[in-house]
Amino acid sequence: MLILETVVRIRRQHADGKSIKAIAQDLRLSRKLVRKAIRAPDAGFAYRRSVQPLPRIGHFQERLDALLAENEARPRRDRLRMTRIHDLLVREGPPASSGERLTVSYDAVRRYAKRWLDERRKDAGDGAAAFVPLMFQPGEAYHFDWSHEDVEIAGKPMRVKVAHMRLCASRAVYVRAYPRETQEMVFDAHARGFAFFGGVPLRGIYDNMKTAVTSVFVGKERVFNRRFLVMADHYMVEPRPARRRRDGRRVRSRTRSRPSGVVSSSPACALPAWRS
C-alpha cells in the first residue's frame, strides 16, 4: 500500500512544477503510480499489490541475524564483507525437503543487512549531517504550537487553549484562543492563520501534538495522522517535526525568563542572535 506521506510528497512536488518522470525517478516509483497519486481527489489514494511475492530469505533469516550480530560485534577492521557473509549463509543454509540445499541471492542478503543495520544505528546518527537552521527565507516555514492560559470570563476563572502560529523569517505571530485543543480547532487555527498572513509557507514545524502526530520514534521520525496529512496536502504544506535533544526534550534557546502570558519565541525558528 502506498503510504499517505508519499502521496502528499508526490502532489507537493508536482505542484512545485516537477515533472512526473522526475518525481518517479526521485521516489523510485512507476510513472503510472505517480499519475494516480496526482489525480486522486483529496489524497485519498490507496494501492495494493494483487500478488505479494514471498522472499526466499525467510528460510535464512535466523542464521543471517546471527551472522550480522557477530559481525557487528567485531572490531571494524576485522568485520566480514557482505559477499563473505552471503557465502557463509549459502554454505550453511537449510536443506530443502528434497534434500537439495536452498540458496538465496546476494542482493536479497544485502538489502536485508542494510535494513538490519539501519534499525540498530538510529541513535548513532551515522551519515547524518548535523546542523541547526538559524536563518529562514520569507515564506519558507512557520512554527505551530499550543499553550494554555488562565483567564477570567464573566467573573469566572477559566483555562483556555491558545494556538500560536509564528513565521520563522519575519517572526510575525498569529494567536487565537479556543475552549479545547481538538483537531477541528487545529484546522480552524491554520485556516485563520494563513488568511491573516495572506499566504501559506512551504513547510510547517510541529511538536508532538496528539491532534497531529500518531507515533513518535527516535530522532525526527514521526507518523502524522491521516486527517492532519490531508489538511497539509490541501494547503501543499510539508509538515516537519521540531528539533529534539537525544533525551526527547525540545531544544530551547537561552533567553531571559519571561512573565506569564507573554508568547515565547519558537525554538524551531531560532535567529542567529540566539545562538548559544
Question: pLDDT (tens digit, 9 = 90+) per residue, 187-217?
Answer: 999 999 999 999 999 999 988 888 888 776 6
User: Is residue 276 assigned to a domain?
Assistant: no
Range of the domain at 233: 141-271
Contact 145, 189 (CB under 8 A): no
User: Is residue 29 assigned to a domain?
Assistant: yes
User: Is residue 87 assigned to a domain?
Assistant: yes
pLDDT at 127: 54
* pLDDT-flagged residues of the chain (< 70): 1-2, 41-56, 95-101, 122-134, 216-220, 243-276
User: Is residue 247 assigned to a domain?
Assistant: yes
pLDDT at 63: 86
- The answer on 148 and 83 residing in a single domain is no
Cβ neighbours, 10 Å, residue 141: 21
- The answer on 209 and 93 residing in a single domain is no
pLDDT at 96: 64
- The answer on 165 and 107 residing in a single domain is no
Question: pLDDT (tens digit, 9 = 90+) per residue, 35-63?
Answer: 888 887 666 666 566 665 556 677 788 88
- The answer on 183 and 250 residing in a single domain is yes
User: Which residues make beta-bridge pairs with 159?
Assistant: 150
Cell 500560536 locates to 164
